[in-house]
Structure formats: structure tokens, C-alpha cells
Structure 1
């Protein structure tokens, strides 16, 4: 019983490691944000996101 549990955990761990090793680095698409624009959600309601902490890198 313990051997079967160990084997299952090992197979699961190797699967996760394989998925992490295959993926490349994440990259965001460039976006231009215009000042004084009201953003809306998918229902059309205004989004209130004051001080959203957007950081430009590079």
C-alpha cells in the first residue's frame, strides 16, 4: 500500500516538473493606457481601480 502511494506521488511530481521545465518565460503584450479614461468591466459597469500599482519595466 505504501509503495503504491509513493509511486503515485512520484509520478505526479515528475509530471509537474516536466510541465514547468517545458514552458517558456511569460511575457505581457504591450498596452497603451490613456489618462482620464473610464474603464468598464464585461457588464459595462465602471471599474474603480485607484492606485492600481502599474509598474513600467524597461
Structure 2
């Protein structure tokens, strides 16, 4: 578990780690708890993933 001074600092850390060998070699990502809506899409210039209630 990691703790940061603010959510933006934590998001920057995670985004930076994704681009390193550390992300896939030294631990296994089991579950992601989304704390920023569409943060991944914003970082990588992708369309946001949305859900539709029926």
C-alpha cells in the first residue's frame, strides 16, 4: 500500500511506474481501485471507458 500527499501525486507515481520494468516484473497487479475517473484515458490520450445503466 502506498500513501501520497495528494491524489495527483499518487496518480503521477502510478503513471510513471507503468512505463518501467518494475510494473510487470516485481509484482503482479491483482486489482485496480479507480480513484480518478478516466485518469488512464487522459494520460494516454484514449477515449474514456463508460458504463451504461439499463
> TM-score range, shorter-chain basis?
under 0.3
Structure number with higher relative contact order (C-alpha < 8 Å, ≥ 6 residues apart): 2
Q: TM-score, normalised by structure 2?
A: 0.24
Q: TM-score, normalised by structure 1?
A: 0.23
Q: Which has the larger radius of gyration?
A: 1
